[in-house]
């Protein structure tokens, strides 16, 4: 690679374009890397800024997570990498990480003065691509460009893989390093990214995050309907056409459904993959970068051992894992990830995972390649077994929790943390993600996300634990939860684990995941439909529509309760989300889950309220997303992983949504708000 001369050239200024455009002058690489640094401590911020400028990077600093999110949202491709502190007053760094992962799919480096294993693990499970201990030295910053290159490379690979094949192909993403060297080289990475974009355009998978085609907005409600239809048909037999018929939603096309299904499958796959570890299901979870989705697949069995291993993974090995994981996961190999790989998952294989997941999709889904991308890691094709496993795991979550608790080890403690607060998670089990989406919607979207996340988390947790990463639990609880959301999405079906997007945290209902992902970023590859969310976000009105849809859906049901719920705890919300699908009992689960998820984090997070709204957004299905996004906007950025959400956020999020604009909701559901043109199918 030609790095070097960056120092000498003072072309930093010019670089803003350089990185993206691919015109980067090799000699200047990585000069001009556009970094966004977020830290509430002004002293640290000043020092970091100076250090980064000395590295010839272009630096933008902000002291609030919300500001950072709005900057990122306002300029999706305006930054190459984000560096964020873990402890911030307005939003937990992990939540921000999730959001970014879900929405923008940028590499995120976490930093903290805290070098505790758990926190570092949390970073891993949430998909941070690196974790720096404060005080940060300039040497540590000099090499951050590698994360940008790596991510692009993986994305590109994923694109290629997913684009070209149907579900099956996707799974196999061999770790080709072919592009690596080239991408690593001057500006090539940019090219690869561009190529990815081109491919996205050209291929059916229209889900590339880079594309911004309007997409159908999968509101929570819609997603719930989708999930119900899928469950009715049986995951194996669920073909877009039939699903479409069952759903009977005017304006929805087969393509929309197909791409959503693809994502959903990925999500499921991811969920089961996490548990595979334990049950041998192997969903090739590639460990989305953001959210170690991979671990989720091993939901089935808490793999404490894995967890232990995970727990022991030193931060330093993150890079290794990443590398390892990268090689592997990229392949979207929806393949069963061996334990080792799972570890990698922790490391951020998100991008890969996404694509891999898509592979499992059915052919029809292939169209929704775009969607697949969104799914990042959402195992769209959830094998029945996996589903069953997930279900089981979900159900046994409660017991797992117990088990987890039993283990006192570090690694397990993480799980335990998760598990404990997750009594709700158990509830989740019930819901088993059937109606995660539903739940979310009912919650008024914010809830959904929470719920879903919660549910997902629990799932993930379980899985994660197995993985060793305790995906969820690892991070001290809540944070994990968030992430698992993505994973959890994979849980039996309902939650659509956006997987790839950590933030997406397997959005509770499957739909959520997708939606979340779409919001998160087109790049996530989440389903093209999810893109809608992204797009939705942009125009507030649109968002509202989606949100409203979800809200209305929920609003009617929970409008009143939501506020209460918010305070209640994520679990409730989650419940709703989950329960939507399952309908009644579910509520319990969802909230639990989310709670678990959130609560995990909740405990630690102080700024949950904000988070909640944020989280809610993420959790909520795409529609929720939309809403949450909206809601969050005012308050805060939607954090895909509503760790905090769980309780307060959901409520506030819900409330906000309702206040903001539920208006169009009612009508929205009829897809007024769905930009349907992208249907990748």
List residues binding another protein (CB under 8 A): 40-44, 46-47, 50-51, 54, 85, 87, 112-114, 134-138, 606
CB neighbourhood size of 355 (10 A):
41
Closest CB to another protein among 40 and 198? 40
Q: How far is CA 234 from CA 242, 381, 466, 512, in A?
A: 11, 11, 27, 19
Closest approach of another protein to the CB of residue 130, in Å: 18
Closest approach of another protein to the CB of residue 87, in Å: 6
Closest CB to another protein among 52 and 443? 52
Closest CB to another protein among 114 and 670? 114
Which among 389, 387, 414, 415 has a CA at the least distance from the CA of 581? 387
- Contacts for 609 with CB less than 8 Å, ≥ 6 apart: 635, 644, 648, 649, 652
CB 626 within 8 A of CB 106: no
- Contacts for 345 with CB less than 8 Å, ≥ 6 apart: 285, 286, 287, 288, 292, 293, 294, 295, 325, 329, 337, 353, 467, 469
Query: How many angstroms separate the CA atoms of 591 and 664, rounded?
Result: 26
Closest CB to another protein among 370 and 610? 610
Cis amide linkage into residue 135, ω under 30° from 0:
yes
Query: How many angstroms separate the CA atoms of 485 and 621, rounded?
Result: 11
Closest CB to another protein among 133 and 340? 133
Closest CB to another protein among 47 and 323? 47
Closest CB to another protein among 114 and 201? 114
Closest approach of another protein to the CB of residue 47, in Å: 6
Query: How many angstroms separate the CA atoms of 617 and 654, rounded?
Result: 9
Closest approach of another protein to the CB of residue 139, in Å: 9
Query: How many angstroms separate the CA atoms of 81 and 261, rounded?
Result: 31
Closest CB to another protein among 121 and 257? 121
Closest approach of another protein to the CB of residue 381, in Å: 44
CB 97 within 8 A of CB 350: no
Closest approach of another protein to the CB of residue 58, in Å: 15
Per residue, what are the HEC states of 601-632? Answer: HHHHCCCHHHHHHHHHHHHCCHHHHHHHHHHH
Closest CB to another protein among 136 and 345? 136
Query: How many angstroms separate the CA atoms of 218 and 34, rounded?
Result: 32
Closest approach of another protein to the CB of residue 38, in Å: 14
What is the DSSP-derived secondary structure letter of residue 231?
H
Closest approach of another protein to the CB of residue 56, in Å: 12
Q: Supply 4's token pair.
A: 């070097």
Closest CB to another protein among 7 and 75? 7
Query: How many angstroms separate the CA atoms of 573 and 528, rounded?
Result: 26
Helix (H, G, I), strand (E, B) or coil at 329: helix
Closest approach of another protein to the CB of residue 106, in Å: 24
Query: How many angstroms separate the CA atoms of 189 and 90, rounded?
Result: 34
Closest approach of another protein to the CB of residue 49, in Å: 10
Query: How many angstroms separate the CA atoms of 304 and 466, rounded?
Result: 5
CB 575 within 8 A of CB 457: no
Closest approach of another protein to the CB of residue 137, in Å: 6
Closest CB to another protein among 128 and 339? 128
């Amino acid at each position: 690679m030609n790095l070097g001369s960056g120092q000498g050239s003072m072309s930093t200024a010019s670089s803003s374009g350089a990185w993206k455009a691919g015109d980067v002058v090799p000699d200047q690489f990585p000069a001009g890397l556009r970094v966004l640094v977020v830290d509430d401590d002004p002293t640290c911020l000043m020092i970091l800024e100076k250090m980064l400028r000395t590295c010839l990077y272009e630096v933008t600093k902000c002291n609030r997570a919300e500001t950072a999110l709005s900057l990122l949202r306002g300029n999706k491709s305006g930054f190459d990498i984000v560096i964020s502190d873990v402890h911030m007053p307005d939003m937990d760094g992990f939540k921000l990480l999730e959001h970014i992962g879900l929405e923008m799919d940028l590499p995120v480096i976490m930093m903290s003065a805290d070098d505790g294993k758990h926190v570092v693990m949390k970073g891993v499970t949430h998909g941070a691509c690196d974790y720096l201990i404060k005080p940060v030295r300039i040497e540590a910053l000099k090499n951050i460009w590698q994360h940008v290159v790596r991510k692009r490379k993986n994305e590109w690979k994923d694109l290629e893989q997913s684009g070209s094949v149907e579900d099956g192909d996707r799974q196999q993403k061999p770790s080709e390093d072919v592009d690596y060297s080239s991408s690593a080289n001057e500006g090539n990475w940019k090219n690869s990214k561009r190529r990815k974009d081109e491919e996205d355009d050209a291929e059916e998978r229209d889900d590339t995050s880079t594309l911004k085609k309007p997409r159908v907005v999968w509101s929570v409600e819609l997603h719930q309907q989708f999930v119900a239809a899928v469950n009715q048909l049986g995951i194996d037999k669920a073909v877009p056409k039939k699903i479409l018929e069952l759903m009977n939603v005017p304006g929805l096309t087969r393509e929309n459904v197909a791409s959503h299904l693809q994502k959903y499958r990925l999500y499921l796959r991811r969920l089961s993959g996490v548990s595979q570890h334990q049950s041998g299901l192997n969903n090739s979870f590639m460990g989305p970068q953001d959210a170690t989705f991979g671990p989720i697949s091993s939901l089935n069995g808490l793999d404490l051992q894995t967890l232990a291993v995970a727990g022991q993974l030193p931060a330093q090995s993150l890079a290794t894992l990443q590398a390892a994981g990268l090689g592997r996961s990229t392949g979207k190999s929806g393949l069963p990830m061996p334990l080792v790989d799972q570890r990698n998952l922790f490391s951020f294989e998100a991008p890969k995972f996404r694509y891999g997941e898509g592979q499992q999709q059915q052919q029809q889904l292939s169209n929704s390649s775009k969607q697949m991308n969104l799914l990042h890691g959402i195992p769209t094709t959830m094998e029945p077994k996996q589903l069953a496993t997930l279900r089981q795991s979900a159900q046994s979550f409660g017991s797992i929790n117990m088990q987890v608790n039993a283990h006192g080890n570090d690694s397990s403690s993480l799980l335990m943390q998760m598990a404990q607060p997750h009594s709700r998670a158990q509830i989740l089990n019930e819901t088993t993600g059937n109606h995660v989406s539903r739940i979310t919607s009912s919650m008024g979207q914010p809830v959904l996300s929470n719920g879903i996340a919660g549910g997902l988390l629990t799932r993930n947790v379980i899985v994660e634990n197995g993985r060793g990463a305790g995906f969820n639990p690892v991070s001290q609880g809540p944070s994990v939860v968030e992430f698992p959301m993505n994973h959890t999405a994979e849980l039996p079906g309902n939650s659509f684990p956006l997987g790839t997007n950590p933030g997406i945290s397997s959005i509770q209902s499957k739909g959520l995941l997708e939606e979340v992902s779409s919001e998160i970023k087109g790049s996530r590859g989440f389903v093209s439909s999810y893109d809608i969310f992204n797009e939705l976000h942009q125009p507030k009105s649109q968002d509202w529509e989606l949100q409203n849809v979800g809200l209305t859906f929920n609003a009617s049901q929970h409008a009143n309760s939501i506020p209460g719920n918010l305070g209640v705890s994520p679990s409730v919300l989650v419940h709703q989300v989950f329960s939507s699908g399952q309908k009644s009992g579910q509520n319990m689960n969802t909230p639990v889950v989310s709670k678990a998820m959130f609560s995990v984090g909740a405990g630690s997070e102080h700024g949950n309220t904000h988070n909640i709204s944020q989280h809610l957004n993420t959790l909520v299905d795409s529609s929720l997303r939309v809403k949450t996004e909206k809601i969050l906007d005012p308050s805060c950025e939607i954090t895909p992983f509503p760790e905090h959400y769980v309780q307060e956020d959901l409520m506030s999020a819900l409330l906000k949504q309702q206040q903001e604009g539920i208006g169009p909701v009612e009508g929205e559901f009829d897809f007024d708000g769905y930009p349907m043109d992208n249907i990748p199918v």
